[in-house]
């Protein structure tokens, strides 16, 4: 929308270079200091007293052009005694112009009335009702035309509302989160969780941590859809670009959601779900075939390595270099119960550390 001077109507366009500058009407905002609030309130009231009769007379963003300031621009806030603290130039000329315009309109109306009276005297008295009949017919035609046009506009607006409603319903159905809701089979396929209720329980458990992390960030997806995106990544190993296409967001947003949710999931879920079971619980839950082959087995441990970028620091580079993988890695020790659930994950070690060293360092009983 273009900027327009609310006093004289001068407007700003891109096709021509205007010789005027445009200045916004002062407003109160939250970045003011304590000593500036009173000055701003005084200035707003002074500008409103001058511009009250001119506001919203012209279409556009209401401003004041440089033609109404002696120096070509408003003075600073603290210079309240300056003549340009409020618009004070070329205001009387505009009022005189308007008054003269009103007088000219009045003179024209008087002249037209006199001309009409003269012509009416020249019309013969034998046909006094012709002009009245023509006027009535024209007014009836205009009324019928306006009613027809109004009726067609109402019908068109109803059709548009129905179209918008159908498109909104179609959009809701196309969203994956709406199709998965209360569908345990789809929930298990996409997330690995047994039911939609379990999905909601885990979502509510993680939500406080996500809300705390997202206070200053803009969300392009609802939190439920973000959680679904993360579980689909972990369950189906979909690429970030694939997830971006599925949820109609950018790949950068997918990466940020994954990093944020996995951190919160580690903090809030690891203590509740990754528990070292008792020996009695293991004996009851261990499959019969496994119990017969390995009756004294409590857990199965192994170390896995994750590749890293090469460090510039030589000490860090040497401590993370893995001779087994032939590159820089970080190593973790993981423990799995005979049932298949993860019961322990160690802290990260450099790839140079051996499995025996990590196991003895954690003092696990083999």
Structural element, H or E, at residue 65: strand 61-65
pLDDT in tens, the chain (366 residues): 778 888 887 877 765 556 778 888 888 776 677 777 888 888 888 888 888 777 777 778 888 888 888 888 888 887 878 888 888 888 765 554 444 444 444 454 455 454 445 444 444 444 444 445 545 555 555 556 567 777 778 888 888 888 887 777 776 667 888 889 889 999 999 999 999 999 999 999 899 888 877 655 567 888 999 999 999 999 999 999 999 999 989 999 999 999 999 999 988 887 777 788 887 888 788 888 888 888 888 888 999 999 999 999 999 999 999 998 899 999 999 999 888 888 888 888 999 998 888 888 865 544
Residue 275, by phi and psi: left (phi above 0), alpha (psi -120 to 50) or beta?
beta
- In angstroms, the CA 331 to CA 342 distance is 16
- In angstroms, the CA 243 to CA 232 distance is 8
pTM beyond 0.95:
no
> Nearest Cα to 6, choosing from 19, 24, 18?
24
């Amino acid at each position: 929308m273009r900027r327009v001077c609310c006093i004289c109507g001068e407007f700003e366009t891109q096709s021509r270079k205007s010789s005027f500058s445009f200045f916004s009407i002062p407003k109160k905002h939250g970045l003011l200091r304590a000593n500036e609030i009173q000055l701003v309130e005084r200035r707003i009231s002074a500008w409103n007293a001058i511009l009250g009769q001119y506001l919203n007379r012209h279409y556009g963003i209401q401003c004041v052009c440089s033609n109404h300031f002696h120096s070509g621009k408003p003075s600073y806030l603290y210079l309240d005694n300056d003549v340009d603290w409020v618009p004070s130039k070329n205001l009387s000329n505009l009022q005189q112009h308007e008054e003269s315009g009103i007088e000219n309109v009045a003179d024209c109306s008087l002249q037209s009335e006199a001309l009409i009276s003269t012509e009416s005297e020249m019309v013969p008295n034998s046909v006094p009702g012709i002009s009245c009949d023509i006027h009535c017919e024209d007014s009836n035609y205009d009324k019928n035309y306006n009613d027809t046009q109004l009726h067609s506009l109402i019908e068109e607006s109803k059709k548009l509302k129905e179209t918008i409603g159908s498109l909104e319903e179609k959009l809701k159905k196309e969203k994956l989160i709406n199709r998965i809701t209360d569908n345990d089979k789809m929930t298990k396929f996409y997330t690995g969780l047994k039911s939609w209720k379990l999905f909601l329980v885990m979502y509510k458990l993680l939500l406080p941590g996500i809300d705390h992390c997202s206070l200053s960030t803009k969300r392009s997806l609802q939190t439920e859809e973000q959680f679904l995106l993360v579980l689909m990544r972990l369950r189906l190993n979909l690429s970030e670009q694939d997830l971006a296409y599925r949820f109609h967001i950018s790949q950068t947003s997918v990466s940020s959601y994954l990093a944020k949710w996995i951190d919160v999931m580690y903090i809030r879920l690891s203590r509740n779900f990754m528990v070292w079971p008792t020996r009695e619980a293991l004996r009851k839950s261990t499959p019969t075939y496994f119990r017969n082959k390995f009756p004294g087995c409590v857990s199965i441990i192994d170390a896995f390595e994750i590749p890293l970028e090469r460090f510039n620091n030589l000490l860090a580079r040497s401590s993370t270099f893995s001779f087994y993988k032939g590159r820089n890695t970080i190593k973790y020790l993981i423990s799995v119960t005979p049932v298949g659930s993860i019961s322990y994950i160690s802290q990260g070690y450099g790839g140079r550390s051996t499995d025996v060293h990590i196991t003895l360092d954690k003092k696990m009983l083999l």
